[in-house]
Amino acid sequence: MTPPIHPLRVSVVGLGNVFLGDDGFGPLVVEKFRCRFACDPQVEILDLGTPGLDLAPYLCARDLVVLVDAVHADDPPGTLTVYREDDFVSHRARLRVTGHDPGLWDSLAHLRMAGQSPSELIIMGAVPQSCSFGEAISPALLDSSSRASDRIAGLLVQRGVACRRRPVFLKQNLWWLPLPGAQSATTG
């Protein structure tokens, strides 16, 4: 008799500050993903904002963690890339330097020491145009956010996780984005 196969424990996590322009890329993507795709119940879809060491419980003993964040890389703004943890160790790319960056690496180090680190960590990163306070997400990252949502679904399906496009999308809760046609406070 074949032993039962446990379903993969998966977390899709958006990191970033929605008040810092393109740094809000992670929260934007996970909200689009949540509204566009239906996944198995063991898939957690989380907007964690800018956590520090309190990120560890969301990574602990997971089979797969997909983190979505703005990254520094030598590519044009809006460039979307899938990174592995080694890409950050080798300095091929780095997360935006904000409060959540040290928390990620420190959390992973603590989890490794406890033997509870995620089996696989993937980082879906987009190069920001600007991460200034009070700015909206740039058109380049808005465009990349839809592609990122689709790529996350593809990554999950490749790993045997049930993830399918919803026949009718859920209503997105993107309260921080300006309404279409609204003027910004700086332009009148």
The CATH number of residue 91's host domain is: 3.40.50.1450
Residue 5 pLDDT more than 70?
A: no
pLDDT per residue as tens digits for the range 126-140: 999 998 998 999 999
Distance between CA 7 and CA 41 in Å, rounded?
A: 10
In a domain, 184, yes or no: no
Q: Is the pLDDT of residue 78 over 90?
A: yes
Asked if residue 38 belongs to a domain, the reply is yes
pLDDT of 43-61, one tens digit each?
A: 999 999 988 778 889 999 8
pLDDT at 30 over 80: yes
Instruction: Tell me the pLDDT of the chain averaged across its residues.
Output: 85
Residue 176 lies in a domain: no
48 within a domain of the structure (yes/no): yes
Residue 177 falls inside a structural domain: no
5 part of a folded domain = no
Closest C-alpha to 69, from 122, 142, 14: 14
The rounded percent of the chain whose pLDDT value lies above 70 is: 84
With a CB cutoff of 8 Å and minimum separation 6, the contacts of 59 are 11, 65, 107, 108, 111, 117, 118, 121
On whether residue 110 sits in a domain, the answer given is yes
Predicted local distance difference test score (pLDDT) of residue 184: 44
The pLDDT value given to residue 106: 79
Q: What confidence tier does 95 reach under pLDDT thresholds 50, 70, 90? A: low
pTM for the model stands at 0.85
Which alpha helices (H) appear in 38-171, and where do they start and end?
56-59, 85-89, 100-113, 139-158
